[in-house]
Amino acid sequence: MAQATLSVRLNATDKYYFEEFCKSAGMNVSTAINMFVKAVIKRQEIPFAITGDPFHSEENMERLRQSIADAEAGKVSPHDLIEVD
């Protein structure tokens, strides 16, 4: 089977820790990426859960937009934007 090259960009720190993990698991980065690709192809899905960050929900974004508008309009002080439980 013909081989192809896949290039990815990642944070240098993440690359270092990924390489270290791979070494500790007795494989190289190429093997780990190939395992991931094979799992995706076989399952037809990412082989781990991916969830959204609730911070980015439309409800929260609207609340943030309104808070910014209120602050810019002088309706609140910066201390009013801090929630205290």
Residue with tokens 């009013």: 80
Q: How many CB atoms lie within 10 A of CB 6?
A: 8
pLDDT tens per residue across span 18-58: 999 999 999 999 999 999 999 999 999 999 988 878 888 88
The whole-number pLDDT of residue 85 equals 60
pLDDT tens per residue across span 6-18: 999 999 999 999 9
Give residue 81's pLDDT band: very low, low, confident or very high (50, 70, 90).
low
| Cα 40 from Cα 50, distance rounded (Å) | 13
Residue 47 corresponds to which tokens in the numbers above?
Answer: 């082989």
R_g (Cα) of the chain, nearest Å: 22
pTM comes to 0.59
Helices and strands of the chain, counted as H and E runs: 3, 0
Give residue 78's pLDDT band: very low, low, confident or very high (50, 70, 90).
low
